Structure 1
Amino acid sequence: MAITTLRSTEKPSRPQNITVLGLPDGLRNHFVAMVGEFCGTFLFLFFAYAIAQAANSTTDAISTPNPAQLVMISAGFGFSLAANVFTFFRVSGGQFNPCVSLSLALVGAISPIRAAICSFAQIVAGIAAAAAVDSLTPGPILYANSLGEGVSKTRGLFLEMFMTAQLCIAVLMLAATKHRSRPMAPLGIGLALFIDHLVGVFFTGAGVNPARSFGPAVVIPSFPVYHWIYWVGPILGAIIAAGLFHFLKFFHYETTNSSQDDDGFAEIEESLKSRV
């Protein structure tokens, strides 16, 4: 009686020194990552911007939160991010945010050069997505970031910092490390952004991503005097997330609850073999 192997122990071989159009392996990889980040960021923000445009078109400006509107915008950004991270994760890692790229570089998950290349692609994609939605939907742009009534620049700065830290630590813990639930990382990352938007849409517009904030500002064009908080706040959040990750790694957090990565496959295989 043959026993079907539940999990292969052999790792697929990776092709080495691939040259396409005369590009050496390293340069080709950077180019593909840049294209992946541009396409993924464009699709993520295109659908998120379009949903925010539709949600904000349904109500007049109000001084109190509209729960249905907040949930629609939050779900638009969260699910659009999750879908596109799932799609492009194997191409470029599905970063789609210069501050996520920064946090990955700070923990050594990607090189500074890769982070810079991807960040450039993300910012250009944010402008392109904002322009595309502006061209395809009626009325003025309604998805630009702005501070809510009574929200000071200081409050906005720290809100953006903490929200970005939440997103970046989710990326670092779920996608930048190997663990049993890593294939579901895009869902967790999307949920993190969903929560960020539930908190931030009414108070700051929930920037959390310089590419997301910069795109509409360029297309309108309009840069409020506090536009800097949508860069400084997220950058500080990325640094905090990287610092927390380094702290946990320094104390070998993976040994604290090591059983959570036990998959039980070895025990199942032994049980099946004993029945032969």
Structure 2
Amino acid sequence: MGDRSFSERHSASNPFFGFFGPTKDAKTVSTLQGHLVAMSGEFVGTFMFLFLAYAGHTMVVDQSPLSGAGPNGTNSATTVVYISLAYGVALLVTVWTMYRISGGLFNPAVTFGLIITGNIPLVRGVLLLPVQIIASIIAAGIISAILPGSIRTVETTLTPTMSVAQGVFLEMFLTAIFILNILMLAAEKSKDTFVAPIGIGLTLFVCEIAGVFYTGASLNPARSFGPCVVGRNFQTYHWIYWIGPLLGALVAAGYYHFVKFFNYEDANPGQDSSGGQHGGS
């Protein structure tokens, strides 16, 4: 008989009730196992984020009496705020749930930004990219199947007054702001890191407010790709929702490398202090 009783070894507090062997110590977990667990976290997290966001977006458009009341049949300001809340809060709660498993990226542009800043290994990033895209397609597919109306409602599209070039640059700058926030709050560890999901969710919220009316505020190739696949409807300018966010990741990563190279901590010291002297003179 072992050191532990049957009930201890097979209690509900053990993964799979202890029938698949003891839980491994973190030091013994293989690199492959780590990648697989992170991939599962990205799949579940991306699905949760986009499922909630697409559902919220669909509800807002279907229920708002002001939907389509803007110029040329576009969404009104009120509708834009509610859509922005759906995406921002959905990201906040899902990142907070999943960041300990995979980092809570849920976005190929964010993944690219973390790769080129050295915050995740290249292999890990390459493995996460297809998982995020597949999860977005499945989220869009399930929303399409269980909610009335067309999934095309949640596609990212340019407002009639926006040119393709304008769309690319707006997506680039909004994504750069979003990813820089992630780099400084989450990738750069500080006493505030544990509440980084709040800052990340709020940043997406304000970026959505700025961009939903004009481009749909994708900031995430997977977010735009899933509904287009399920709705079988790709705009001729769909490529801007890949190029814009990826360029934004480069801009954010460039500034991140700049401040890291010049040791930004020395420019305004004491900001992570728990008390005593402040950073100012």
TM-score bracket, shorter-length normalisation: 0.7 to 0.9
2:158 maps to what in 1?
Answer: 147
How far 1:258 moved relative to its partner?
2.0
Q: How does 1:11-160 map to 2 (within 5 A)?
A: 15-18=26-29, 25-57=30-62, 58=64, 59-60=67-68, 62-63=70-71, 65-141=75-151, 142-160=153-171
2:19 maps to what in 1?
Answer: none
Q: Using the alignment, how far apart are the partners of 2:174 and 2:161 within structure 1?
A: 19
Q: Using the alignment, how far apart are the partners of 2:37 and 2:48 within structure 1?
A: 16
TM-score by length of 2: 0.85
Q: Using the alignment, how far apart are the partners of 1:27 and 1:16 within structure 2?
A: 13
CA offsets per residue over residues 3-58 of structure 1, 9 Å max, x none?
A: xxxxxxxxxxx73123xxxxxx1000000000000000000000000111111123
| 1:203 counterpart (198, 211, 214) | 214
1:3 maps to what in 2?
Answer: none
2:256 maps to what in 1?
Answer: 245
Q: Using the alignment, how far apart are the partners of 2:150 and 2:96 within structure 1?
A: 32
Percent of pairs with identical residues: 46
Q: How does 1:168-187 map to 2 (within 5 A)?
A: 168-187=179-198
Native 8 Å contact 2:137 2:229 kept in 1: yes
| 2:228 counterpart (175, 196, 217) | 217
Task: Report the AA paired with residue 68 of structure 2.
Answer: D
1:261 maps to what in 2?
Answer: 272
How far 1:65 moved relative to its partner?
4.9
1:268 maps to what in 2?
Answer: none
Task: Report the AA paired with residue 101 of structure 1.
Answer: T
Task: Report the AA paired with residue 167 of structure 1.
Answer: F
Q: Using the alignment, how far apart are the partners of 2:169 and 2:69 within structure 1?
A: 24
How far 1:180 moved relative to its partner?
1.3
Task: Report the AA paired with residue 49 of structure 2.
Answer: F
Q: Using the alignment, how far apart are the partners of 1:186 and 1:61 within structure 2?
A: 33
Does the residue aligned with 2:270 lie in a helix, a strand or coil?
A: helix
2:176 maps to what in 1?
Answer: 165
Does the residue aligned with 1:222 lie in a helix, a strand or coil?
A: coil
How far 1:67 moved relative to its partner?
2.1
Task: Report the AA paired with residue 102 of structure 2.
Answer: S
Which runs of 5 or more residues in structure 2 are unaligned? 1-24, 277-281
How far 1:60 moved relative to its partner?
3.4
Q: Which moved more, 1:133-142 or 1:152-161?
A: 133-142
How far 1:120 moved relative to its partner?
1.0
Does the residue aligned with 2:253 lie in a helix, a strand or coil?
A: helix
Task: Report the AA paired with residue 33 of structure 1.
Answer: A
Alignment length, in residue pairs? 246
Q: Using the alignment, how far apart are the partners of 2:136 and 2:69 within structure 1?
A: 25
2:3 maps to what in 1?
Answer: none
Q: Using the alignment, how far apart are the partners of 1:231 and 1:94 within structure 2?
A: 20
Native 8 Å contact 2:132 2:222 kept in 1: yes
Does the residue aligned with 2:124 lie in a helix, a strand or coil?
A: helix
How far 1:190 moved relative to its partner?
0.6
Which runs of 5 or more residues in structure 1 are unaligned? 1-13, 19-24, 266-276
Q: Which moved more, 1:49-58 or 1:203-212?
A: 49-58
Q: Using the alignment, how far apart are the partners of 2:95 and 2:42 within structure 1?
A: 10
How far 1:62 moved relative to its partner?
3.6
1:188 maps to what in 2?
Answer: 199
Q: Using the alignment, how far apart are the partners of 2:137 and 2:69 within structure 1?
A: 25
Q: Using the alignment, how far apart are the partners of 2:68 and 2:243 within structure 1?
A: 30
Q: Which runs of 4+ in 1 moved over 6 A?
A: none
